[in-house]
Every structure is written in structure tokens, then in C-alpha cells.
Amino acid sequence: MAISTKMQKAINDQINAEFWSAYMYLSMSAYFENRGLKGFAHWMRIQFREEQTHALKFLDYLAARGGKVELQPISPVATDWKDATDAFSETFEHEQKVTALINSLMYMAIEEKDFATQSFLKWFIDEQVEEEATALEILDKLKLINNHPQGLFMLDKELGARPLVEE
């Protein structure tokens, strides 16, 4: 059974949202790089790559279901933040928005009795639990550090050790 027109449009919108997320994380990576926080920049660069992978998963899924992929323009992203805490506050809030988008897709798939899409989305639902938890953990650490240079140095070193995991 081919994917519905309504679900096709929603997945195309999600592809755009995932590429926008990638662009946002790349902007944050550049922000941290410019401030000499290479570990933070590295962490955000990995987020950038993960979001690209997520977009491609949606793209490949839509194509496999006989849908038409329609790439859309990517809206501009911020390029500056007050500090690391501000950037990670935005990161956490953004991941909560992405969770809401994925949940909306799941509601639509349930409503349409689209079991294949429900199965596909389960991975993203689980992924968003991890994404939110990780962003919140870093944000909590930043709040504890309160912009003290020694704490930022240690967290920068920790974030710089993040491995790229192929999904």
C-alpha cells in the first residue's frame, strides 16, 4: 500500500525539520569553534551529522513507500548565543520540539492505520528520549559550572571525547 498524500506531506515537512536541525547544530559548532571551545564544537558537529542521517532516513523511507520526496528551502538559523548555557538551553528546547513533531507523525500514522510508518517512527521516538536526556544532562552541568572557566574547560574536554556512532 502506498503512503497517503497527507503522510507524504508530513514526512517531507519532517525531512525539512531534520535538515534545519542539522543546520542549527552546524551553526552552534561554528559558534563554539570561534570561542576556542573545540570539544563543544566537536559535540555539535556530531549532532549536525546525526540530524543529516535522520533526514536521510525519512527521505529513504518515503521513497521506499512510493512517496515523492520534495525538498524545501531551509529557514535561517541563529549564529550567536549569550554563552554555552544559552546554546544548550536552545538545544534542549529544540529537541523537545522535535519530539513533539515525531509524536505528531505517530498520531497521524495511528489515525491512518499506517502500521509501516508506526513501526518506522518507533526508532525516532526512542531516539528522542535519548536526545532530550543528553541535552538536559549537559545543560544541568553548565548550570552547575555557572560559566567558571575551569568547569568549562573540563566539560569541553568531556564533550570533545564524544565518538561518532553511525546509526
Q: What is the pTM of this model?
A: 0.94
Averages of pLDDT over each 10 residues, the chain, 167 residues: 92 98 98 97 97 98 96 97 97 98 98 97 97 97 94 96 79
Distance from the Cα of residue 21 to its chain's centroid: 5
> Which domains does the chain carry?
5-160 (1.20.1260.10)
Please give the Cα distance from 87 to 156 (Å, whole number): 14
Residue-level pLDDT at 1: 64
